[in-house]
Structure 1
Amino acid sequence: MKPFLSIVVPVYNVEAYIEKCLRSVYNQDLSPVQFEVIVVNDGTKDKSLEICEVLQKEFTDLKIISQENKGLSGARNTGLSHAKGDYVWFVDSDDWLPANCLKQIVDTLKIKSPDLLWLGHSVVHNGEIIRTYIPAPIDEPVAGDEFFAHHLQGLYYIWKFIYSREFLSNNNLFFYEGLLYEDLEFTPRALEVAQRCITLTDSFYFYLMREGSIVNKVKAKNVENRFFILENHYKRYKETTSSNLYRNALLYTCIESFAGTIKMAARSGIKLSHSSRSLWKLLKTAEKKSEINYPYDKLLAINLPLYHRVYGVLARTYKLLFK
């Protein structure tokens, strides 16, 4: 029997987390024949693979695919290429699912037949839930431009989405390999072509905020990759024939993410490139001609280098005083 849902779990150096993740995936009220679990061993150097192999003896239908390290995007692409389900969910290996959540998810997918389903999630830090994000209800499926503009809330995380495998295949949607913040790159691209988007108004995912994760360990590559993504988004904004609703949402994303990237660079003492200054000038010009009015910091709008220096000093001083 073909599974209805494929759950893809990329694994790289997560020996402290992977067992909890996989056990949560199997601790469900859904018949095992309705879903498959695909672990992609992305050249892990710790005991993660050994742990998965031990669990495979308990969960005999667990699939393990090993490859040389390609990064998170490459591992997701590999998992997607092996998936057989009608829908695909990319679950990060240091996170976990609530018990008995899959039946409600699968029932909703079968009834609504969306291109994508967007889920609520909870953020866990030091063993406690510190935030929970619940999507607004959508009575009937909406197109990707409307979802992008009115529902996304700047939460691009891949694991918040469950995608139709046919939708991904028909639109040649794969992850850009070797790139950090692939969520920010992939999600707007998928929403440009999506026609049926729905939500589930509850928390179906536990996201672990940990010190060693990409979002908490900023280097020059992090900033460079984000600027690269935003430059591509701005190019799409200029060239796409999609609706003005989509174009405005994409421009808003560029401006919002640009401001966040500047703060990221400033807090970490990373210098700005010439291309980042050029991009900001383009974004300011585009915003003046668009239908949106983004309330970015006035100092940033007037003088980008000065903003970067001032914010950096303030952020690092705050760290010294209150860390």
Structure 2
Amino acid sequence: MPNISIICPTYNEEKYIEKCIVSMLQQDIDKNEIELLFVDGRSTDQTRALITSFQDKHPFIHLIDNPEKTVPYAMNYGIKAAKGNIIMRIDAHSHFEPNYVSVLSKALIDLKATNVGAVCKTDVINKNPKSLAIREVLSNKFGVGNSLFRIGIDKVTVADTVPFGCYRKEVFDEYGLYNPKLTRNQDIELNKRILRNGGTIYLVPDTFCTYYARETYSALSKNNFQNGKWNILMMKYTRNLDSLSIRHFIPFLFVMSLIVPILLSLIWFPFIWLSIVSLMAYAFLISIISVNIAAKQKLDFTSLMLAFFTLHFSYGMGSLIGLIQLITKRR
């Protein structure tokens, strides 16, 4: 009987799934202690075939069908099928250090925690000036705010959320399963629910995972537009304003500082200068940051500027569209 059930939602992950599986096979833990559950949203690429090719050699690997396709459904299917008393979520876009499972499962017990996680470092598979700039921006506090699991820690730290958490199975009886209404941000919402009801969440420094980011500006924009939109929609579906932190709204405020004066300028044109000043102030700040990063990391300045702007603007626009959808649907 496995002690740890590791759940990985998948959908069309043929570019990344092998790296993820191999990193799990290299874990420094007795494989009799774990089961690896891939919950697939009926992928149309080679994801399922790749999983079954490993499954033939490693009986602790299992493939579960997820007809609803989205992550919260995948996690809930996995939790219900899990045989272990510890539940760990992983991501197909990620690679995990060999001690990842052993460190988190031990920390969960030692800290008597509700949930524990580790730092998630960002990397890219294909390294070029554009993708390296995107990697840096997604690891930088000016790109992602004060998100501790992205910028790093050096000691056990109390956290408001962690990526790919490790839980005792009874946590889901006590706090509930993943919210199936949330296409995005389901981990944040679950962690906020845990904290709201007296649970404890920790980041531990003794291991980490590596997340493989999108490598083009268009893919970065699309992903963060959805993240920004679901920040707003999450409040609608959960009816809790504390589901998010202040950092999640900074891009929205930036976008509004550009759009609102432009609209007001239709009434009185000089308002347009507020948009210009906001954009210039943003460009000045990001250029200083990009110059510093480019000099230290030997990265391309222009690529950094574009990555910062793409991240912030798409995230903010997503939040704006989410707000518009929220208001219009209520009416």
| TM-score w.r.t. length of structure 1 | 0.66
SS of residue in 2 equivalent to 1:204? strand
State whether residues 117 and 162 of structure 2, in contact with CA within 8 Å, keep that contact through their aligned partners in structure 1. no
Q: Does 1:257 align with 2:258?
A: no
The letter of the residue matching 1:72 is V
For residues 212-227 of structure 1, the aligned pairs below 5 Å read: 216-218=221-223, 222-227=227-232
Q: How far, CA to CA, are the matches of 2:106 and 2:304 in structure 1? A: 51
The residue number in structure 1 matching 2:153 is 135
CA distance in 2, matches of 1:117, 1:181: 17
Q: Superposition RMSD on alpha carbons, in Å?
A: 3.7
Deviation at 1:104, TM superposition (A): 3.0
The 5 Å alignment of 1:65-144 reads: 65-125=64-124, 126=126, 131=139, 133-135=151-153, 137-138=155-156
CA contact (8 A) 1:135 1:202 kept: no
Shift of residue 193 of structure 1? 2.0
Deviations 1:73-97 (A, max 9, x none): 2212211221122221111111111
| Distance in 2, Cα, partners of 1:181 & 1:121 | 16
Partner SS state of residue 56, structure 2:
helix
Secondary structure at 1:224 match in 2 = helix
Aligned residues of 1:7 and 1:91 also touching (Cα < 8 A): yes
**Which residue, 193, 201, 205 being the options, matches 1:201?**
205
**Residue identity matched to 1:15:** E
Call closer, same or farther: CA 1:190–1:10 in 2, change over 3 Å. Answer: same
TM-aligned CA deviation for residue 102 of structure 1: 2.6
- Name the aligned partner's letter for residue 122 of structure 2: V
- Is residue 136–residue 199 contact of structure 1 (8 Å, CA) maintained in 2? no
Give me the whole-angstrom Cα distance separating, in 2, the residues matched to 1:173 and 1:115. Answer: 14
Amino acid of the structure 2 residue aligned with 1:228:
L
Q: In structure 2, do the counterparts of structure 1 residues 116 and 308 end up closer, same or farther at CA, with 3 Å as the change threshold?
A: farther
TM (norm. structure 2) is: 0.65
**CA distance, structure 2, for counterparts of residue 136 and residue 230 of structure 1:** 32
1:177 and 2:168 correspond: no
1:219 Cα deviation from its structure 2 partner: 7.6
Q: Distance in 2 between matches of 1:107 and 1:74?
A: 27
CA-to-partner distance for each residue in 1:133-160, whole Å, 9 max, x for gaps? 4335349xxxxxxx4xxx44xxx4531x
Q: Name the counterpart of 1:35.
A: 34
Post-superposition shift, 1:199? 3.6
In structure 2, relative to structure 1, the CA distance for the partners of 1:308 and 1:184 (3 Å cut) is farther
Stretches of structure 1 lacking an aligned partner (at least 5 in a row): 140-146, 238-249, 273-302
Structure 2: 5+ residue stretches without partners: 140-149, 261-270, 288-301, 307-331
Which residue in 1 is equivalent to 2:58?
59
C-alpha distance after superposition, 1:31-58 (max 9, x if no partner): 1121110001111110100000111012
Aligned with 1:120: secondary structure?
Answer: strand
Matched residues in 2 for 1:138 and 1:114: separation?
Answer: 12
Q: How many residues align?
A: 258
User: Aligned partners of 2:17 and 2:123: how far apart in 1?
Assistant: 16
CA gap of 1:255–1:314, structure 2 versus 1, over 3 A, is closer
Distance 2:17 2:224 in 1: 26
